[in-house]
A and B are shown apart, each in its own frame.
Chain A
Amino acid sequence: MTRKKRRLYTLIGAMVLLSAATALVIGAFRDNLVFFFSPTEVAEKGIEAGQRIRMGGLVEEDSVIRDADGLTVHFRLTDLSHTIMVTYRGILPSLFREGQGVIVQGQLDAPTHFIADEIMAKHDENYMPPEVAEALKKSGQWKGGNE
């Protein structure tokens, strides 16, 4: 086999692989991108029920209610101008508190009711996820100092 032929085969192989990988990536992107919204955007943009999204905001004070099964939790997520009711079943992250910033992932089942299958609350007491801080800024309710 000549050098040219070998190079050609390698090139063809690489191209086939590249297109396969591209096809995989495009397909996976289409199905698995999760967009982030603030409660205000959810209220105003009219997100379709059933679309997987992330939503970030503050857990409203005195809004957390536990069902009798001890595992299902309801709370209100707010960016201080709009509020969305969230339901979640499972163990809450240890940093989950009223008044704290959290990010929930899941879907809407009614315009103002969100079913979460994942709740993210990371870092320490003073930490605010940047997405949440931005959501608060957008709604004009940001009171934090830095930035």
Chain B
Amino acid sequence: MGKVIKTVLNRVEGEIQLKLHWEKGKVKDAFIIAPNFRGFEFILEGKPVLDALVINPRICGICGHAHLIATTKAIENIYENTGQKIDVPQNAKLIRDITIGAEIIQNHIRWFYMFVMPDFIKLEKGRKLKAFEPVKGIKWQQAVDYSSKIVKVIAVFGGQWPHTSYAVPGGVVCDPTTFEIVEATATVDSLIKFTEENIFGMNLDTYISITSEDEFLDRAKGSDLKEFLFLCKKHKLDREGKSYHRFLTVCEMEHVFEKGITKKKKKDFHVGKVRRD
């Protein structure tokens, strides 16, 4: 047997170990080991069903709200499967979508600036990526500011982030005033501006109208996404860890996936035929 190398990968909720078996300069086998076990699936056993609304978000500190919404929907399904109709009012559905959306925005910012970009500093010895330096870098600090700002939207409707249980089967517990809704929309506007100036490097409408990577690279000014794409290509990350082309996608991303439905037999994909219900 060849060489075995274990690497520790730290990030969220406990470390992950990556165990690689090397043979003749190639990875023969790979194992991802998560040595920490909390056992939520066993902890839930025998508990009253609504208690899952309190326990499940605590599976994850960065995306606990997704666990809450998923749990709420799962419990609603349980009621429905026993023949009890659950009517979630339209405004509650919208509020759930808004708060889960706010958490996703927070996730994107924290992952990109805190968990992805700092790793490039190690690869980029010669180049200055000082702005992305954890704790000290100005871009890292801005990511703290704006990722913390967007979760205020969850606090408006759910009281706090992380770990609220404000969504319950049948709806949400809040009844926001007009002024609380305005507080949330103002927060979202401020995030759009941050994203335009720092991530897209152009305004949102322009970004949505972009049709190719070249056009994006050409038009983006001061864009961290552009910087990221540059670094990925420079270090050939767009060629590493390639998957099996089992994606449904409306765009091309060089080397990684192609436009179309690519499971087994490639088919054409027409974005114009996509409907949103």
A, B assembled together: no
Which residues of A are at the interface with B, using a C-beta cutoff of 8 A? Answer: none
